[in-house]
Structure 1
């Protein structure tokens, strides 16, 4: 799956990184706790979160994530957008709740990072 597919599935708005929509995504992580995200060590992932601050972008960059999707209609501020542009990370927002967004991505073939 690529980031463009995620945009379509979640009916998401892109705030930055339009030039990276063809990047492949292999796994997803949904969390509002960045400590949990740091424990999730898969490359080429998308992060779904309702937490909106610059630490989210920094965490995603450390984990080599290619995309962040803010759920529940949350929107990044200009500081976050600038930081994501510097890191080459796509920022998107969807009106869906986290459970629904994760479920739709899973239903369309995107897996979590676990082996279960």
Structure 2
């Protein structure tokens, strides 16, 4: 699924978006507030959904080669988190949907159904 479609489905607010990522294809989503789970279970070409709003999220995304992060529940990223996302060239968005609903919307629309 293209990032542009993911953003539309989740009605995302954009905090940072590298231009080249708009048409990037993603195969799966990882929804977690535990960065240790992200480190242990993340797959290839994944988008991260989380309720955490600290720089550690961006650092974890960088380590796992995650190119886009969506913050759920209408939370806003800290200024430090936005700066780090820009520095590391990781797209950063937020959505008003709760985690469960955001993941469900993406799955219902085909993300993750084809496997990795």
Listed as ranges, the gaps of 5+ residues in structure 2 are none
Number of positions where the alignment pairs a residue of Structure 1 with one of Structure 2: 115
Aligned residue for 1:58? 59
Alignment of 1:1-116 (within 5 A): 1-19=1-19, 20-111=21-112
TM-score of the superposition, structure 1-length normalised? Answer: 0.92
Q: TM-score, normalised by structure 2?
A: 0.92
Runs (4+) of structure 1 moved beyond 6 Å? none
Q: Distance in 2 between matches of 1:91 and 1:56?
A: 10
For the residues of structure 2 that align with 1:107 and 1:4, how far apart are their CA atoms? 16
What is the Cα-based RMSD across aligned positions, in Å?
1.8
Q: Please identify, of 50-59 and 16-25, the stretch whose mean Cα deviation from structure 2 is larger.
A: 16-25
Query: Gaps spanning 5+ residues in structure 1: where?
Result: none
Rounded to whole Å, the distance in 2 between the matches of 1:41 and 1:94 is 21
Give 1:18 deviation, angstroms: 4.6
How many angstroms does 1:52 deviate by? 0.9
1:28 and 1:46 in contact (8 A); partners too: yes
Task: Please give the per-residue CA displacement for 1:34-90, whole angstroms capped at 9, x wherever unaligned.
Answer: 000001231221000001100001001111111100000011122111111121111
Alpha-carbon shift at residue 95 of structure 1 (Å): 0.4
